[in-house]
Amino acid sequence: MKWFSIILIITLVSCSENKNPSKPFYAGITSIHTTDSTRIYKPGSDTTDYLYYRPVDLDIWYPAYHANTDTQLQVRYLLNLLETRANYYTASKIADGMSGQLAQFFCNTFNCSDSLSLLNYKTNSFKNAAAASDKYPLVVYMAAFNGMSYENYSLFESLAKKGFVVVSVSSIGRFPGDMTTKKEDLMEQVADGITAINELKRHPNIDSNRIGIIGYSWGGLSGAILAGKFASNVKCIVSLEGSEVHHYGNEDADFDRIRESEEFKSLKFSIPYLRMESAPASLPGKQDSLYNFALYHVKDAQTFIIDSMQHEDFDCFSNIVKVAGNCQTNQRHNSAVQLTVGFLEDKLKNEDNFLPTVNALLNKTIRKK
């Protein structure tokens, strides 16, 4: 992985600027492709096949200073990452045209905008912008089931502007890359997260003793296991309705196999753990029993319910689609972002912003569980 480290250092050090406290941070973004030679990705292949070893793509948002020559990315660029990588990981052209199809899917799902408006919508991410020179906490984001690294890009932008480096890990299982609820596929995402941390924590601009984990949906489960692998470095966990809490009645056998594994059973956290949950306006009459992760594995846990939140609202595209289409937005996704940023500022930077954020939102858009 030598070339990975060299490229990352070139991007974040050689192109960095000295700290200027009067100059606001922007969100820089860079993408790194590497290979984990400890894992075989494509069964039945040999070392001459470019997919023999596990490919790993990492997207990194970081505090940056803005220059007029910087490229402000459109959503089109982020969705094209899926198209390019899906073709690469399958050695096919199966994903050709997928970015446009995905844009239309988002518009249909959230009932607003059109695919062209969404594709042309400008993010606040600036490609390879000059990194601010200092040491920053590292936040590792674990994507939802089959989710891609950009699914919460606006959250990453918010964190980068606040002085965090964010590395986002896609949800990619065994060859040909599809995630399933099987333990073997889950552990591939965990291993990708390990690859990300091991590379980034050696970087001089990363404070490897201040690491936070965010997991959305299925990424909450992989994120919890990942946190256990770096117990001395990880200082807090954020779960965006993560699957570490399991509602029985859906894929129970697969979850029980994961729960009974040593990687899961051994998890014991004394670090702060924040969980957010949805609260649909119309709940089903009967709730299945659940596995309460915090009860068995966490000493310092807080859970908040966001009013009228749907599970998919934790994905930033629930909000971006409406902004791109000039539709009415709501505070649900923004509440999740504010809680996440405030919590990480509190636990990784000692800035005491979490309690004021909670007090501002409590009984307005959020409730304590």
Which tokens belong to 98? 């997928």
How high is the mean pLDDT of the chain? 92
**292-304 core/surface letters (b: 16 or more CB in 10 A; e: else):** ebbeebbeebbbb
Which tokens belong to 227? 């946190």
Closest C-alpha among 270, 283, 346 to residue 311: 283
What's the CATH number where 143 sits?
3.40.50.1820
Q: What is the pLDDT of residue 13?
A: 46
Residue located via tokens 């408006």? 117
What's the pLDDT band for 19 if we cut at 50, 70, 90? Answer: low
Q: Considering Cα of 348, then 264, then 179, then 88, what sign does the dihedral take?
A: positive
Average pLDDT score over residue span 84-109: 96
Contacts of 213 (CB under 8 A, 6+ apart): 139, 140, 142, 223, 224, 226, 227, 234, 236, 237, 238
Q: Is a pLDDT exceeding 60 seen at residue 287?
A: no
Cis bond leading into 21, ω under 30°? no
Number of domains composing the chain: 1
Task: Please check whether residue 138 is in contact with residue 165, taking contact to mean a CB–CB distance below 8 angstroms.
Answer: yes
| Per-residue model confidence as pLDDT tens digits over 317-338 | 999 999 999 999 988 999 999 9
Q: Is a pLDDT exceeding 70 seen at residue 101?
A: yes
d(CA 205, CA 199): 12
Closest C-alpha among 198, 199, 191, 200 to residue 171: 191
Q: What is the pLDDT of residue 10?
A: 40
Which tokens belong to 175? 């060859």
Q: What is the pLDDT of residue 250?
A: 80
| Per-residue model confidence as pLDDT tens digits over 162-207 | 999 999 999 999 999 999 999 999 999 999 999 999 999 889 999 9
Q: Is a pLDDT exceeding 90 seen at residue 3?
A: no
Average pLDDT score over residue span 74-89: 97
Q: Is a pLDDT exceeding 80 seen at residue 283?
A: no
Which tokens belong to 197? 């941390």
Which tokens belong to 44? 């039945």
What's the pLDDT band for 2 if we cut at 50, 70, 90? Answer: very low
| Per-residue model confidence as pLDDT tens digits over 136-164 | 999 999 999 999 999 999 999 999 999 99
Q: Considering Cα of 138, then 139, then 145, then 146, what sign does the dihedral take?
A: negative
For the chain, what percent of residues have pLDDT higher than 70?
92
Task: Please check whether residue 149 is in contact with residue 57, taking contact to mean a CB–CB distance below 8 angstroms.
Answer: yes
* pTM attached to this predicted model: 0.93
Counting runs of H as helices and runs of E as strands, what totals does the chain give? 13, 15
Which tokens belong to 25? 């941070």
Average pLDDT score over residue span 256-274: 97
Range of the domain at 117: 2-368
